[in-house]
Structure 1
Amino acid sequence: MLEQALTLLAAAGGTAVVQAAGTDMWTGLRQAVARWFGRGDGQRERAELERLDRTAGELQSAEADQAERLRIREEAAWQARIEALLESLDQAEQTRAVEELRVLLAEQAPRGGASAGQGGLAAGGNVDIRAEGGAIAAGVIHGDARIAHPPTPDPSQG
């Protein structure tokens, strides 16, 4: 059984695969993950590319009502695959693989902005959600949220 830090790293890897599918980050992450799993074996790397492509295809073609459940399932599946690989390695190779995975995830992380998959909306700054005329507005927060006092209206606005 893996120690908690490695389990968390594996979870981050699974999440990265699922979040990158269908975004501009996909090609780079896909190649890097396949190389990491392949561990120098070209045939194994090609098999991983096929698995990654199946994952991306399933996520992109999922019906809206099934998409979240599929994302959760795929994240767990990729986490389990990463954990299984790490558990199969001897201590020296595991240490090397862990460092490689950390570097891979750091290099493939989104830079300078937010990223969302097909049908999603991501914002790297402030978002103002409004509803007028009896409409309903809603938002979901993943990450940090801050509450501040609204700005003072201009005196001409009453």
Structure 2
Amino acid sequence: MTVSELERATEPDAARIRARQEAFWETRFVDLMAVADEHARAETVAQLQELVDLANRLAATPTVQTNGGLVVEGDMTIRAEGGSMAGGVIHGGIHLANPPMAGQS
């Protein structure tokens, strides 16, 4: 089951699919913990907590979907130095040349 399949599903199919996936993963984690020693269980719990924390942070972060755009979380600096060119998103070609001198065309 992929996210796109779940997104295409209509209710109540989506609820049924989510419930089946939750049961599947719960069983896997219970089985994993049943065979793990104390150290492995503690490590697994810590890793799962990191995963939950990451999922919560990502869920709380607004996302923007663009076609060829740029999405930044936090600070971003774009600089051009020494006759160079910089840009977050560039569509098309770039041509850098010295400007013509006065009186030249």
TM-score normalised according to structure 1 size: 0.33
Which structure carries more relative contact order (alpha carbon 8 Å, separation 6+)?
Answer: 1
TM-score (norm 2): 0.46
Structure ID, larger Rg: 2
Select the structure that is richer in helix.
1
